[in-house]
């Protein structure tokens, strides 16, 4: 199998606070994990790629100091949205690949719906 979990599934926070989202590969070791953001009726937008034990690679336009990514182990990556604003409200999805070669199928977590009030 290849199951990826995310926690929490939904979170509501106040503007200015920080929120941490966890992404776990439950039955495999994920060398590479990806973090996406998806706004309603839009495609997935890759935010960053993270490899275990190294710094994440952020896509152009994504603020690395605002979206902190930590890939502490082969089964866990976390995304922390710092000083959240209402415009950060979105559906955040992580995915993971099984092998070192990134040309593998990405297994997606169920997503986290973030609402910033």
Partner 1 sequence: GQNIDQPTEMTATEGAIVQINCTYQTSGFNGLFWYQQHAGEAPTFLSYNVLDGLEEKGRFSSFLSRSKGYSYLLLKELQMKDSASYLCAAMDSNYQLIWGAGTKLIIKP
Question: Which of 92, 101, 47, 50 lies closest to 71 in space, CA to CA?
Answer: 50
> Does residue 24 sit in helix, strand or coil?
strand
Single out the residue of 15, 85, 113, 115 in contact with partner 1 (rule: CB under 8 A).
Answer: 113
Site string for partner 1, 43-82 (x = CB under 8 A): xxxx--x---------------------------------
Residue 11, token pair as written in the block: 């979170």
Query: Do residues 58 and 71 touch, judged by C-beta distance below 8 A?
Result: no
Shortest distance in whole angstroms from residue 103 CB to partner 1: 5
Specify the stretch interacting with partner 1 by CB under 8 A; choose among 11-19, 39-47, 61-69, 71-79: 39-47
Tokens representing 104? 């593998």
How far apart, in whole angstroms, are the C-alpha atoms of residue 117 and residue 98? 36
Under the criterion CB under 8 A, does residue 109 sit at the interface with partner 1? yes
What residues line the site for partner 1 (CB under 8 A)? 42-46, 49, 91, 93, 101-103, 105-111, 113
């Amino acid at each position: 199998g290849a199951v990826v979990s995310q926690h929490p599934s939904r979170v509501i926070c106040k503007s200015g606070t920080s929120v941490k989202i966890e992404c776990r590969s439950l039955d495999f070791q994920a060398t590479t994990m990806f973090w996406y953001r998806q706004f309603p009726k839009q495609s997935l937008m890759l935010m960053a790629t993270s490899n275990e034990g190294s710094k994440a690679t952020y896509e152009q336009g994504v603020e690395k100091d605002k979206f902190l990514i930590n890939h502490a182990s082969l089964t866990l990556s976390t995304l922390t949205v710092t000083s959240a604003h209402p415009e950060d409200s979105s559906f955040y999805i992580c995915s993971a690949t099984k092998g070192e070669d990134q040309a593998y199928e990405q297994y997606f977590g169920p997503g986290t719906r973030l609402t910033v009030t």
